[in-house]
Amino acid sequence: MALTSREKGSVFDHSVKIRPRISTGANQMTAIRSSTGAARPNAPEALGSADLADLMLRAGAVRDRQWGDAISYSRKVFIPLTTMCRNTCGYCTFVKAPGEPGANFMTPEEVLAVAIGGERLGCKEALFSLGERPERRYPEARAALAKLGYSTTVDYLVDACRLVLDRTTLVPHVNAGTLTEEEIARLREVSGSMGMMLENVSRRLGRPGMAHHACPDKAPLLRLRTIEAAGRLGVPFTTGILIGIGETFEERIESLVAINELHLRHGHVQEVIVQNFRAKPGTAMAEWLEPSRTDMMRTLSAARLILDPSISLQAPPNLEETFEDYIDCGINDWGGISPLTADHINPERAWPAIAELSRRTAARGYRLVERLTVYPAYLGRETAPLHATLAGLAGPDGLARDQFVA
């Protein structure tokens, strides 16, 4: 795919070569300074102190030029294939250890029932979101997989995606965490797109007492490698950052720069999510301060200015009461929203009804549109295994042919 050139006035200068680097916690913005060593006035490190209203204006202008007045969402069902995981992220309520209520693998019948239920309600995407490689940690997970006839979660995931493809009109989007290139190649055959939150490139977050302690799959290098492998295979990819988990603002910027660099190399990052941490009772981070709305708005605006304009910028509407303010920060997407299933990652935060989302989007001068799991710019790739399936669901503009926006 031909990449669009940077918007004039963007903070990012392509003459300065960026390579994804892993933070050690020190200020590592030297790579994004000019060759003279002086920080440019518009450089990413200035985004933390720039006037927020000005940042928002510039971010909104970038969005308007690239995406016009459309703010999209994907109508989907959420399929949590397994709630077990070998990681123990400090903020997670999704994960369940063997023996805890809800620790399970869904059966094929359960997967199909959710997908059929979503199809009846006009959904087009089956979001498979699941714990990472629980079989490497728990004998109970290995036993549950063996009962289903599998030895790894990825093996089962491939067949579960195929089941949904064969028996419904939904297209799977796979969010299974870190994956090898061989695993991505197999999953590419049965999914339209894939995703995995980078979260942050800071290795500090893996230290004791931090959000990613004892989480082997949250090693930044592994996650960057997964995104890069997806790029080599041409998989339309979703990633993003999670803010408020102990990172610095500069580390957020480094993470966005790293994502952008991977996209510039491979042209495959179709969307980036900026998600705000919410403290949940019963987790290790239950008492942590949540990022403020202003912090979120600054980060979103910075993201819009750092990322290539062709990358969709998404913020979840169910994690902030006045979510429409995000429109003023340059977002163009609300993410996946389900009329059937809960947000299993944030089950206490219900999604807004589509009619309300539409009304509040329109109140800011924008129109809600329904997209597929694959964005219009990626639909024309005829070598994609699900090209024909996706084309059958799309209208002439590449958005969902059958629009549910009210």
Q: From CA 25, how far away is CA 36, in angstroms rounded?
A: 24
Strands (E), 54-139: 70-79, 125-129
User: Rule CB under 6 A: is residue 132 a binding residue for ligand SF4?
Assistant: yes
Tell me the CA distances in angstroms from 397 to 3, 294, 369, one per residue in order: 19, 34, 11
Nearer to ligand SF4 among residue 79 and residue 89 (C-beta): 89
- Helices 220-232 and 181-188, interaxial angle, to 10°? 50
Classify residue 101 by burial, with Cβ atoms within 10 Å: 0-12, 13-18, 19+: exposed
Structure-block tokens of residue 306: 């750092």
Residues between 336 and 395 with contacts to ligand SF4, criterion CB under 6 A: none
Tell me the CA distances in angstroms from 261 to 278, 311, 325, one per residue in order: 28, 12, 28
Computed over its alpha carbons, how large is the radius of gyration of the chain?
Answer: 20
Residues between 47 and 86 with contacts to ligand SF4, criterion CB under 6 A: 85
- Which of 91-99, 148-156, 278-286, 292-300 is the region at the interface with ligand SF4 (rule: CB under 6 A)? 91-99
| Minimum distance, C-beta of residue 196 to ligand SF4, in the bound complex (Å) | 10
> Letter for the amino acid at 302?
A
| Minimum distance, C-beta of residue 244 to ligand SF4, in the bound complex (Å) | 14
Q: In 281-345, which ranges are continuous DSSP H helix?
A: 293-306
Nearer to ligand SF4 among residue 202 and residue 332 (C-beta): 202
| Minimum distance, C-beta of residue 226 to ligand SF4, in the bound complex (Å) | 13
Nearer to ligand SF4 among residue 81 and residue 164 (C-beta): 81
Site string for ligand SF4, 222-241 (x = CB under 6 A): --------------------
Using CB under 6 A as the binding criterion, the count of chain residues that bind ligand SF4 stands at 12
| Minimum distance, C-beta of residue 346 to ligand SF4, in the bound complex (Å) | 11
Structure-block tokens of residue 34: 């000019």
Element (H, E) at 259: helix 249-266
Nearer to ligand SF4 among residue 277 and residue 404 (C-beta): 277
Nearer to ligand SF4 among residue 116 and residue 219 (C-beta): 219
Question: Which one of 88, 346, 389, 403 is in contact with ligand SF4 (CB under 6 A)?
Answer: 88
Q: From CA 403, how far away is CA 122, in angstroms rounded?
A: 9
Q: Which residue shows structure tokens 């990172």?
A: 247
Question: Which one of 32, 62, 71, 92 is in contact with ligand SF4 (CB under 6 A)?
Answer: 92
Question: Which one of 12, 73, 78, 94 is in contact with ligand SF4 (CB under 6 A)?
Answer: 94
First-to-last C-alpha distance (Å) of the chain? 33
| Minimum distance, C-beta of residue 252 to ligand SF4, in the bound complex (Å) | 18
Compute φ and ψ for 194, nearest 5 degrees: -135, 165
Question: Which one of 89, 229, 241, 384 is in contact with ligand SF4 (CB under 6 A)?
Answer: 89
- Which of 87-95, 107-115, 151-159, 312-320 is the region at the interface with ligand SF4 (rule: CB under 6 A)? 87-95
| Minimum distance, C-beta of residue 96 to ligand SF4, in the bound complex (Å) | 9
Report the Cα 68 to chain-centroid distance in Å. 22
Q: Which residue shows structure tokens 């892993």?
A: 22
Residues between 148 and 177 with contacts to ligand SF4, criterion CB under 6 A: 177
Q: From CA 55, how far away is CA 10, in angstroms rounded?
A: 11
Residue 393 near residue 169 (C-beta atoms within 8 A): yes
Nearer to ligand SF4 among residue 119 and residue 183 (C-beta): 183
Question: Which one of 131, 220, 246, 291 is in contact with ligand SF4 (CB under 6 A)?
Answer: 131
State the residues that interact with ligand SF4 by CB under 6 A: 85, 87-89, 92, 94-95, 131-132, 177, 215, 217
